[in-house]
Chains A and B, each alone.
Chain A
Amino acid sequence: MNILERVQPIFQDVLDDPSLRVERASSAESVEGWDSLAHINLIASIEKEFGIQFALGELSELKNVGEMIDLMERKLIRK
Protein backbone atom coordinates (compact mmCIF):
# COMPACT_ATOMS: atom_id res chain seq x y z
CA MET A 1 0.00 0.00 0.00
CA ASN A 2 1.43 3.38 -0.92
CA ILE A 3 1.90 6.17 1.59
CA LEU A 4 -1.10 8.20 0.40
CA GLU A 5 -3.35 5.24 1.13
CA ARG A 6 -1.71 4.52 4.50
CA VAL A 7 -2.26 8.08 5.74
CA GLN A 8 -5.99 8.06 4.88
CA PRO A 9 -7.13 6.33 8.14
CA ILE A 10 -4.89 8.68 10.16
CA PHE A 11 -6.55 11.76 8.64
CA GLN A 12 -10.00 10.19 9.04
CA ASP A 13 -9.35 9.39 12.71
CA VAL A 14 -7.71 12.68 13.72
CA LEU A 15 -10.22 14.84 11.82
CA ASP A 16 -13.09 12.60 12.94
CA ASP A 17 -14.47 12.13 9.43
CA PRO A 18 -14.71 8.50 8.20
CA SER A 19 -15.60 9.68 4.70
CA LEU A 20 -12.64 12.05 4.36
CA ARG A 21 -10.17 11.41 1.55
CA VAL A 22 -7.05 13.54 1.21
CA GLU A 23 -5.20 13.87 -2.09
CA ARG A 24 -1.70 15.09 -2.89
CA ALA A 25 -3.06 18.61 -3.42
CA SER A 26 -4.89 18.67 -0.06
CA SER A 27 -3.68 21.16 2.54
CA ALA A 28 -4.69 22.70 5.86
CA GLU A 29 -6.52 25.39 3.88
CA SER A 30 -8.61 22.93 1.89
CA VAL A 31 -9.41 20.28 4.52
CA GLU A 32 -12.06 21.19 7.07
CA GLY A 33 -10.94 20.82 10.67
CA TRP A 34 -7.19 20.75 9.91
CA ASP A 35 -6.37 23.35 12.56
CA SER A 36 -3.20 23.75 14.62
CA LEU A 37 -4.07 21.09 17.20
CA ALA A 38 -5.24 18.66 14.51
CA HIS A 39 -1.91 19.29 12.77
CA ILE A 40 0.00 18.27 15.90
CA ASN A 41 -2.14 15.15 16.24
CA LEU A 42 -1.68 14.28 12.56
CA ILE A 43 2.10 14.62 12.64
CA ALA A 44 2.46 12.68 15.90
CA SER A 45 0.23 9.89 14.56
CA ILE A 46 2.12 9.73 11.26
CA GLU A 47 5.47 9.59 13.06
CA LYS A 48 4.27 6.68 15.21
CA GLU A 49 2.60 4.80 12.34
CA PHE A 50 5.62 5.03 10.03
CA GLY A 51 8.38 4.99 12.66
CA ILE A 52 9.88 8.25 11.41
CA GLN A 53 10.58 11.64 12.99
CA PHE A 54 10.28 15.04 11.37
CA ALA A 55 12.84 17.68 12.37
CA LEU A 56 11.91 21.01 13.87
CA GLY A 57 11.04 23.42 11.05
CA GLU A 58 11.00 20.69 8.40
CA LEU A 59 7.23 20.81 8.02
CA SER A 60 6.78 24.55 7.67
CA GLU A 61 8.20 24.42 4.12
CA LEU A 62 5.59 21.95 2.93
CA LYS A 63 2.68 23.22 0.82
CA ASN A 64 0.43 20.18 0.74
CA VAL A 65 -0.01 16.48 1.51
CA GLY A 66 1.93 15.52 -1.62
CA GLU A 67 5.05 17.33 -0.45
CA MET A 68 4.72 15.73 2.97
CA ILE A 69 4.50 12.29 1.37
CA ASP A 70 7.60 13.01 -0.72
CA LEU A 71 9.46 13.95 2.48
CA MET A 72 8.18 10.79 4.18
CA GLU A 73 9.40 8.68 1.25
CA ARG A 74 12.91 10.15 1.58
CA LYS A 75 12.91 9.42 5.31
CA LEU A 76 11.63 5.87 4.83
CA ILE A 77 14.36 5.13 2.28
CA ARG A 78 17.00 6.29 4.77
CA LYS A 79 15.62 4.06 7.52
Chain B
Amino acid sequence: MNSLRWADLFVGLTADFHVEITSETMDLFRAMSGDWNPLHVDPEFARGAGHPGPVVFGMLTASFYSTLVGVYLPGRFAVLQGLDVDFVRPVFVGDKLLVTGEVSFLSEAVRRVELKASIRDAAGRLVSKARIRAGLHEH
Protein backbone atom coordinates (compact mmCIF):
# COMPACT_ATOMS: atom_id res chain seq x y z
CA MET B 1 0.00 0.00 0.00
CA ASN B 2 1.24 3.47 -0.87
CA SER B 3 1.24 6.16 1.85
CA LEU B 4 1.57 9.34 -0.16
CA ARG B 5 1.30 12.60 1.78
CA TRP B 6 0.21 15.97 0.43
CA ALA B 7 3.80 17.04 -0.30
CA ASP B 8 4.31 13.92 -2.42
CA LEU B 9 1.47 14.76 -4.81
CA PHE B 10 1.69 16.73 -8.04
CA VAL B 11 -0.47 17.11 -11.13
CA GLY B 12 0.58 14.40 -13.57
CA LEU B 13 1.54 11.81 -10.94
CA THR B 14 0.29 8.38 -12.05
CA ALA B 15 -0.31 4.93 -10.62
CA ASP B 16 -1.63 1.70 -12.09
CA PHE B 17 -2.29 -1.93 -11.26
CA HIS B 18 -3.60 -5.08 -12.93
CA VAL B 19 -6.59 -7.13 -11.88
CA GLU B 20 -8.29 -10.22 -13.29
CA ILE B 21 -12.04 -10.79 -13.14
CA THR B 22 -12.88 -14.33 -12.02
CA SER B 23 -16.18 -16.17 -11.57
CA GLU B 24 -15.51 -16.08 -7.83
CA THR B 25 -15.26 -12.28 -7.95
CA MET B 26 -18.60 -12.21 -9.75
CA ASP B 27 -20.21 -14.51 -7.17
CA LEU B 28 -18.91 -12.40 -4.31
CA PHE B 29 -20.18 -9.18 -5.88
CA ARG B 30 -23.60 -10.68 -6.55
CA ALA B 31 -23.88 -11.92 -2.97
CA MET B 32 -22.72 -8.61 -1.55
CA SER B 33 -24.80 -6.29 -3.75
CA GLY B 34 -27.92 -8.41 -4.19
CA ASP B 35 -27.85 -7.63 -7.92
CA TRP B 36 -28.87 -10.88 -9.61
CA ASN B 37 -29.87 -9.38 -12.94
CA PRO B 38 -29.58 -12.25 -15.48
CA LEU B 39 -27.30 -10.30 -17.79
CA HIS B 40 -24.62 -10.84 -15.15
CA VAL B 41 -25.43 -14.38 -13.97
CA ASP B 42 -27.22 -16.30 -16.77
CA PRO B 43 -25.00 -17.25 -19.77
CA GLU B 44 -27.98 -18.05 -21.97
CA PHE B 45 -29.67 -14.74 -21.20
CA ALA B 46 -26.41 -12.87 -21.84
CA ARG B 47 -25.95 -14.64 -25.20
CA GLY B 48 -29.51 -13.66 -26.10
CA ALA B 49 -28.51 -10.06 -25.46
CA GLY B 50 -25.65 -10.41 -27.92
CA HIS B 51 -22.77 -11.09 -25.54
CA PRO B 52 -20.44 -14.11 -25.49
CA GLY B 53 -21.16 -14.68 -21.77
CA PRO B 54 -22.32 -12.95 -18.61
CA VAL B 55 -21.36 -9.29 -18.51
CA VAL B 56 -19.29 -8.27 -15.51
CA PHE B 57 -21.12 -5.88 -13.17
CA GLY B 58 -20.14 -2.32 -14.04
CA MET B 59 -20.01 -1.46 -10.38
CA LEU B 60 -17.63 -4.37 -9.78
CA THR B 61 -15.14 -2.84 -12.19
CA ALA B 62 -15.86 0.60 -10.70
CA SER B 63 -14.92 -0.77 -7.28
CA PHE B 64 -11.33 -0.85 -8.55
CA TYR B 65 -11.45 2.96 -8.57
CA SER B 66 -11.83 2.66 -4.80
CA THR B 67 -8.73 0.45 -4.78
CA LEU B 68 -6.87 2.93 -6.96
CA VAL B 69 -7.48 5.74 -4.48
CA GLY B 70 -7.33 3.80 -1.21
CA VAL B 71 -4.30 1.65 -1.97
CA TYR B 72 -2.27 3.31 -4.72
CA LEU B 73 -2.91 7.03 -5.31
CA PRO B 74 -2.63 8.46 -2.73
CA GLY B 75 -3.17 5.30 -0.66
CA ARG B 76 -3.31 4.95 3.11
CA PHE B 77 -4.39 8.50 3.98
CA ALA B 78 -7.08 8.84 1.29
CA VAL B 79 -10.81 9.25 1.69
CA LEU B 80 -12.97 8.82 -1.39
CA GLN B 81 -15.35 11.79 -1.72
CA GLY B 82 -17.01 11.21 -5.07
CA LEU B 83 -16.66 10.02 -8.62
CA ASP B 84 -18.28 10.24 -12.02
CA VAL B 85 -17.92 7.05 -14.01
CA ASP B 86 -18.83 5.92 -17.52
CA PHE B 87 -18.92 2.31 -18.67
CA VAL B 88 -17.71 2.33 -22.24
CA ARG B 89 -17.40 -1.35 -23.21
CA PRO B 90 -18.57 -4.63 -21.62
CA VAL B 91 -16.16 -6.72 -19.52
CA PHE B 92 -16.32 -10.53 -19.28
CA VAL B 93 -15.16 -13.15 -16.79
CA GLY B 94 -11.50 -13.92 -17.38
CA ASP B 95 -10.66 -10.43 -18.63
CA LYS B 96 -7.41 -8.97 -17.36
CA LEU B 97 -7.77 -5.27 -16.68
CA LEU B 98 -5.34 -2.40 -16.23
CA VAL B 99 -6.53 0.31 -13.84
CA THR B 100 -4.77 3.67 -14.24
CA GLY B 101 -5.07 6.99 -12.46
CA GLU B 102 -3.42 10.38 -12.91
CA VAL B 103 -3.60 13.37 -10.59
CA SER B 104 -5.44 16.05 -12.58
CA PHE B 105 -6.11 18.70 -9.93
CA LEU B 106 -4.97 19.58 -6.41
CA SER B 107 -6.48 22.04 -3.96
CA GLU B 108 -4.20 22.62 -1.00
CA ALA B 109 -6.76 24.71 0.92
CA VAL B 110 -9.22 21.84 1.23
CA ARG B 111 -6.78 18.94 0.68
CA ARG B 112 -8.65 17.81 -2.41
CA VAL B 113 -7.04 15.43 -4.90
CA GLU B 114 -8.74 14.78 -8.22
CA LEU B 115 -7.82 11.92 -10.53
CA LYS B 116 -8.53 11.18 -14.14
CA ALA B 117 -8.82 7.40 -14.20
CA SER B 118 -9.48 4.64 -16.68
CA ILE B 119 -9.73 0.88 -16.99
CA ARG B 120 -8.54 -0.93 -20.12
CA ASP B 121 -8.76 -4.56 -21.15
CA ALA B 122 -5.81 -6.73 -22.21
CA ALA B 123 -6.18 -5.48 -25.79
CA GLY B 124 -5.81 -1.91 -24.56
CA ARG B 125 -9.44 -1.02 -25.22
CA LEU B 126 -11.06 1.48 -22.88
CA VAL B 127 -13.80 -0.22 -20.83
CA SER B 128 -14.43 2.47 -18.24
CA LYS B 129 -13.37 6.01 -17.40
CA ALA B 130 -13.84 8.12 -14.29
CA ARG B 131 -13.26 11.46 -12.65
CA ILE B 132 -12.46 10.80 -9.00
CA ARG B 133 -12.57 13.22 -6.07
CA ALA B 134 -10.72 12.32 -2.89
CA GLY B 135 -9.47 13.92 0.28
CA LEU B 136 -6.27 13.40 2.21
CA HIS B 137 -6.46 13.28 5.98
CA GLU B 138 -3.69 13.85 8.48
CA HIS B 139 -2.96 10.94 10.75
Contacts and interface: CB of A to CB of B under 8 A. Distances in A.
Contacts, number: 39
Interface string A31-59: 00000010111011001100001111111
A43 B81 contact: no
Contacts of B109: 43, 47, 53-59
Interface residues of A, number: 15
Contacts of B121: none
Interface string B112-138: 101000000000000000000101000
A41 B109 CA distance: 11
B114 to A, nearest CB: 7
Chain B binding surface, main DSSP class: strand
Contacts of B108: 53-56
B110 A43 contact: yes
Contacts of A53: 107-109
Contact of B81 (A37, A47, A56, A57): A37
7 contacts: A44-B107, A44-B110, A47-B107, A53-B107, A53-B109, A55-B109, A59-B109
Given A40-B135, A44-B133, 15 more contacts: A40-B81, A40-B111, A40-B112, A41-B82, A43-B110, A44-B105, A44-B107, A44-B112, A44-B114, A53-B108, A53-B109, A54-B107, A54-B109, A56-B109, A58-B109
Interface of A: 37, 39-41, 43-44, 47-48, 53-59
